[in-house]
Amino acid sequence: MAANIARGRALAGQGGFSYLLVLLMVAVAGVGLAALGTVWASARQNDDEAQLLHIGQQYRQAIRSYYLTAPAPQRRYPASLDDLLKDPRTPGLLRHLRRPWLDPVSGLALVPVPAADGGIMGVRSASTARPRKTAGFDAADAAFEALAELRGDKLAYSDWEFVYLPPGPGVRP
């Protein structure tokens, strides 16, 4: 009986070491998972930004197509974003945009940017979150880089306006 008690005490001393080892492994795994979560969140935000830039370009091209479809003296912006899905000015089915897109950053509908004539000249995100991308934009979105330099920490996705501006007189569209 005394031998069993002595052996039990010897094993009990080793149990504390194993417990500390398990706690250390759990802590290391937790730090690793936290780092992985940070990397995943950054990758997700980069992907959302790339999608927003692509979708914004699609809307800009659709508004350009709508604007240029009419003869020169009658050109105007669409009255609503639905006009890009089915152009009400034509008797047949003319689509400038295949489907309405949601804002990948906020998950909401894109916000129309009004034109001076009452139509819609572009779209923007509804999100007030800060974008990661501040440089390296395509030529069509080069103004976003200047805006990032101007506003710095106060820049939001809602500042990225994807608008179509018709060329001035004497310039071909």
| Predicted local confidence at residue 10, as pLDDT | 58
Contacts (Cβ under 8 Å, ≥6 apart) of 127? 103, 105, 106, 156, 157, 158
pLDDT tens per residue across span 44-54? 888 999 999 99
| Predicted local confidence at residue 2, as pLDDT | 60
Q: So where are the chain's domains?
A: 2-163
pLDDT tens per residue across span 27-64? 888 888 888 777 787 888 889 999 999 999 999 999 99
